[in-house]
Structure 1
Amino acid sequence: MNDQVWKRDEVDSPCVQICVVHPEERICTGCLRTLDEIARWSRMAPEERRAVMDELPARAPRLRKRRGGRAARLKG
């Protein structure tokens, strides 16, 4: 059997099956992609997927901002 049929030179999906969209940043907290990127992923060219994958690490700090929590709300 020829295994080459199942081997493709494509960029893997960054999906980690934690699909929660951050309410302010509008990116998935699991894979860090935008909703548009997630929707178009299967139709993107490999180069476009690679560009998105290269951007993902820079997006992580956007989700680490503290929002203040309960103590901040009580002070206001």
Structure 2
Amino acid sequence: MKVCIVDGPTGLCLGCYRSLQEIGGWSGLSDDQRAAIMAELPSRRSRIDPAKLGPV
């Protein structure tokens, strides 16, 4: 099951690191737009409180 859980302070999903806007509009984005978002995701992890993410 694909279920996103969004962190209130950052607005990012705790699993995929996308925003609610990105999650909701994902199917309507172009391949280039998706690729740009995907390229940003690893750096977004640091914006979330590590205690909420569990062990790495």
Gaps of 5+ in 1: 1-15, 67-76
Q: Does residue 28 of the first structure (1) align with residue 9 of the second (2)?
A: no
Q: Check whether the contact 1:27–1:33 (CA below 8 A) recurs between aligned residues.
A: yes
Q: TM-score under structure 2 normalisation?
A: 0.80
- Distance apart, 1:43 and its partner CA: 0.5
Q: TM-score under structure 1 normalisation?
A: 0.60
- Aligned-residue identity in percent: 37
Q: Which has the higher helix share?
A: 2
Gaps of 5+ in 2: 52-56
Equivalent-residue separation in structure 2 for 1:61 and 1:18 (angstroms)? 21
Equivalent-residue separation in structure 1 for 2:45 and 2:3 (angstroms)? 14
User: Using CA pairs below 8 Å that are at least 6 residues apart, which structure has the higher relative contact order?
Assistant: 2
CA RMSD of aligned residues (A): 1.7
Tell me which stretches of 4 or more aligned residues in structure 1 moved more than 2 Å: none
Count residues in correspondence. Answer: 51
- 1:51 aligns with 36
Q: Which has the larger radius of gyration?
A: 1
